Amino acid sequence: MEAQKTATFLSLSENVGQFSLLGKTFLIPEMNRIGAHLLAGAFRSFGVNALVMGTYEGLDLGKEFTSGKECFPCQVTTGDILLFLKKEKESLGDDFNPENYIFFMPESEGPCRFGMYNKYQRIVLDSFPEFRKVKIGSLTSENSYALEGMFEKERTRDFRKAAYFSVVIADILDRLLWRIRPYERKQGATDGFIERSMMTMADSFESYGAKKDFDRILGKLEEIVEEGKALIDPDIHPKPLIGIVGEIYLRTHVHSNQNVIRVLERYGAEVVNASIAEWVDYTTYDKVRAAKAGLRLNLKQFRFNKVKSYLKQALSYGGDLLYQHIRLDQAYKRVKPLLDLAGDHRVAHLEKILIKDDLYSFELGTEACLSIAGIMEFMHEGYNGAVNVYPFTCMPSTITSSIIRPIMSHERIPFLDAPYDGTCQPGREATIRTFMYQAYQHYKRHGRKKH
Ligand code: SF4
């Protein structure tokens, strides 16, 4: 028993973390489809053999090797990696070498369970002798997803820049999809167009990411936006605008959320989902915040050694955040004159909203910070309704719901909680239809935020 426990703890510390990616196949789980492919393109540009794994087909395996108490994304991603490795072993036979693979599973600090996925998945992989040597490559929000150890030191910063830019461009492509699809001239044209555009942009990142030729990447994006604009039928009237917030995996993984955006669109919505860049910005913003707090405290206590260290951190994370803002603005400035896509929120602005109405504190962390403030911002901007999409039992999203529901009810703005756990709930579609009926009434009375 003791020996087994020691082996488990050793494996958690030795086989989960930041490992050199050179010469390995880096397996990226598909969360947001476009984001995963663009990120893989950025990795390939730096010489990493990155691959986006298929998703959701392994759910049975995921359920078999979890107890049911884990968060749903943990079950889905456990199934994804197990199915991928099983298939790979079957097709390669004796040539299968587990040491060639690194499975990408980042983590997040704080009170929620995302910090435990990769540990749990380590234990599951270790239960298969043939997969024990597959490493789990993890980045953590604790240091704002720093990449030390994964690349040669001198390329780490460049990769971080390219990776962040891939996140921003993927968000824009997603926004393009949600902007065009409800108004498309020819039914089904947008999906094919966006799939092709995603591959084009992934190639673009592969070619220009490492060179940091972001201008060329933006040039490609502009061509795509122009092309996409032509798919819109100008005779279709604006539709009720619905904002989505919630847990990052569920709200972006279309299989897990049973295509909630498409269902909303079927009942007459135009949807804007919260972005992924917002989360990345939040993790960096939170580090700046913590460093500033440490700085203030230690200044008061005259602990100058610590003051120096906190000052360094504040400057370093502050620099990262500034860089992220510059890149984000640069990308949106290039596409917004072409088509009126929804913009992104600044995290500092979201924090101000929470402070002003005394709704929640950034001290508590988690995605509830973004979701609560995000919905408030939708409300101020004139959206016709909001949906909170999350895994059943998700803690931050349950907090969001408990705080935001009475406010939305008071303001008479339609609000829907949409928890998912992989089961098909017979009343789900009727609930969405009812919600959209209410959103349409709101739209008739108040109009909507202009494009
Ligand atoms: S955000 Fe929710 S679903 Fe995701 S790990 Fe935390 S508790 Fe689980």
Q: Is the CB of 113 under 6 A from ligand 1?
A: yes
Ligand 1: centre distance to CA 216 (Å): 37
- The arrangement of strands across the sheet holding 270-273 comes to 270-273, 241-246, 385-391, 415-420
Q: Which atom of ligand 1 is nearest to the CA of 112?
A: 6
264: CB partners within 8 A, 6+ apart: 242, 271, 387, 432, 436
Which pLDDT value is given to residue 153?
79
> What is the pLDDT averaged over residues 403-431?
95
Measure the CA–CA gap between 27 and 138, rounded to whole angstroms: 12
Cα Rg for the chain, rounded, in angstroms?
Answer: 22
pLDDT for residue 321 is more than 90: yes
Cβ burial of 279 (10 Å; 0-12, 13-18, 19+) is middle
Which pLDDT value is given to residue 143?
67
135 backbone dihedrals φ, ψ, rounded to 5°: -85, 155
Ligand 1: centre distance to CA 191 (Å): 29
Residue 104 vs residues 17, 27, 164: alpha-carbon distances, Å: 10, 6, 16
pLDDT for residue 320 is more than 90: yes
Ligand 1: centre distance to CA 44 (Å): 29
Which pLDDT value is given to residue 144?
62
150-154, 156-160, 224-228, 301-305, range with the lowest pLDDT: 150-154
Strand pairing partners for 388? 245, 417
Q: Is the CB of 35 under 6 A from ligand 1?
A: no
Q: Is the CB of 399 under 6 A from ligand 1?
A: no
Q: Is the CB of 163 under 6 A from ligand 1?
A: no
Q: Is the CB of 394 under 6 A from ligand 1?
A: yes
Tens of pLDDT, residues 45-93: 999 999 999 999 999 999 999 998 899 999 999 999 999 999 999 999 9
Among 153-157, 274-278, 300-304, the range of highest mean pLDDT: 274-278
pLDDT for residue 118 is more than 70: yes
Q: Around Cβ 436, how many Cβ atoms within 10 Å?
A: 25
Q: Which atom of ligand 1 is nearest to the CA of 250?
A: 3
Question: What confidence category does residue 149 fall into, taking pLDDT thresholds of 50, 70 and 90?
Answer: confident
Ligand 1: centre distance to CA 272 (Å): 21
Angle at 122 (CA atoms; ends 116, 123), nearest 5 degrees: 95
Q: Which atom of ligand 1 is nearest to the CA of 391?
A: 3
Q: Which residue lies with its CA nearest to atom 2 of ligand 1?
A: 394
* Token output for 396: 């931050």
pLDDT for residue 426 is more than 90: no
Distance of CA 175 to the CA centre of its chain: 14
* Token output for 126: 């270790």
56-65, 154-163, 171-180, 376-385, range with the lowest pLDDT: 154-163
Ligand 1: centre distance to CA 223 (Å): 37
> What is the pLDDT averaged over residues 328-344?
97
Tens of pLDDT, residues 188-207: 999 999 999 999 999 999 99
Q: Is the CB of 112 under 6 A from ligand 1?
A: yes
216: CB partners within 8 A, 6+ apart: 204, 208
Q: Is the CB of 74 under 6 A from ligand 1?
A: no
Measure the CA–CA gap between 84 and 62, rounded to whole angstroms: 12
Mean pLDDT of the chain: 94
Q: How many residues are recorded in the chain? A: 451
Q: Which residue lies with its CA nearest to atom 6 of ligand 1?
A: 112
Which pLDDT value is given to residue 1?
67
Question: What confidence category does residue 110 fall into, taking pLDDT thresholds of 50, 70 and 90?
Answer: low
Ligand 1: centre distance to CA 274 (Å): 16
Give me the amino acid identity at 105.
M
pLDDT for residue 251 is more than 90: yes
Q: Is the CB of 439 under 6 A from ligand 1?
A: no
Percent of the chain with pLDDT over 70: 98
Ligand 1: centre distance to CA 65 (Å): 18
Question: What confidence category does residue 372 fall into, taking pLDDT thresholds of 50, 70 and 90?
Answer: very high
450 backbone dihedrals φ, ψ, rounded to 5°: -70, 150
Structure letter (DSSP) for residue 180: H
Which pLDDT value is given to residue 451?
62
Ligand 1: centre distance to CA 303 (Å): 37
Give me the amino acid identity at 165.
F
Strand pairing partners for 28? 52
Contact by Cβ (8 Å): 314, 298: no
Sign of the C-alpha dihedral, residues 387, 391, 393, 398? negative
Q: How many helices (H) and strands (E) does the chain have?
A: 16, 9
Q: Which residue lies with its CA nearest to atom 7 of ligand 1?
A: 394
Among 80-94, 149-163, 419-433, the range of highest mean pLDDT: 80-94
Which pLDDT value is given to residue 3?
73
110 backbone dihedrals φ, ψ, rounded to 5°: 95, 180
Which pLDDT value is given to residue 154?
84
Which pLDDT value is given to residue 366?
92
